[in-house]
Structure 1
Amino acid sequence: MSMNQQLMAELAEQRQRQQELMDQLAAQIATAQSHKRGLRAAAASSVQQADAIDEMHRRTSARWHAFTSAAAPAQQVCSNQHGTQMIYGFQEVPKAPTFKGSTKVQKRRFMDQYEAYRRQIHLANTQRPGEQQVIQMPLSGCIDPMAIERIAFWEIGKPSHELTEEAGVLPWSSRGWPG
């Protein structure tokens, strides 16, 4: 009988440990669910804050104000110079490319960009016949002065002050880059 009582006591002890483990597991599940709810709330709050920040950036950006403010007059006469009129908006005038490289690939890429710039200026001027024209940046003005010095010295073998675009000596004249 004592063996039977020992087994019954051991069984009761195991049930008690099992119940303790079940209670711990239930507490862990409750904590995990609480964390899960907290993470969902934090994610939702994060999305709302990101949307609010995007909305704030959109409303405070220059583009937003450009669309919400009254349109600026199309033509403004500059009082400093006689007969000069501002007729183009900032984004309407094409920006001239700048050459700062030295390799043939960079030169070709620059010349392609400059040709595209020339076409954009020509198109802008042909769309407004009889009005003020956009002045094209000369090719020599688009090249970094230090690049001119390098090209003149190493590729042409002359000082840069002896090179002229009109004479066709400059490598960026109408005949293109040498080589």
Structure 2
Amino acid sequence: MKELCFATNNKNKVAEVSQMLEGKYKLLTLEDIGCHEELAEDQDTLEGNSRQKAQYVWEKYKVNCFADDTGLEVDAICGEPGVYSARYAGPQRNDADNIRHLLKNLEGHDVRRARFRTSITLYLDGQEHQFEGIVNGQITTEWKGNKGFGYDPVFVPEGYDRTFAEMTPEEKNAISHRGEAIRKLVEFLKAQ
């Protein structure tokens, strides 16, 4: 079984992706490879951030790896929070604070179209590959559900009447931005 490092410290993301890989790859975490430093995310695009993290792990640890960056883009507020989604309400990176800040910024807006977008960069044997996943939807006016993480309690995907936080992990993975990007990654790896 081929080993692959997911360049993140976010245990929710690791659990989500591990489930999708279905035992086809041994998923390593940053801790598993001895990487304890905080990976920089100071680029101005999701693609740039995912590339920055994956490239760093490949160059320093020489292990096949992939990194992701995900952003919520809301039309009514010019694509915010976008690349700043994790730290939208400040450097503390608190999900509840971020949601409160988002809902405050959307007060008075009737059109609440949004999309989640994930960019994944894979470094496989020194070669870079990128994959993207997008899911469109709406931002609710109140929190609903207690599953998931991030903005899941206020995001209803197109064609559904429940937030991501009201869905099981399997339901969410089947339609989510990260799920789409990971499926593209897995299909690519299977072809290698």
Name the TM tier (shorter chain): under 0.3
Which of structures 1 and 2 has the bigger CA Rg? Answer: 1
Q: TM-score scaled by structure 2? A: 0.24
1 or 2, which has the higher helix percentage?
Answer: 1
1 or 2, which has the higher strand percentage?
Answer: 2
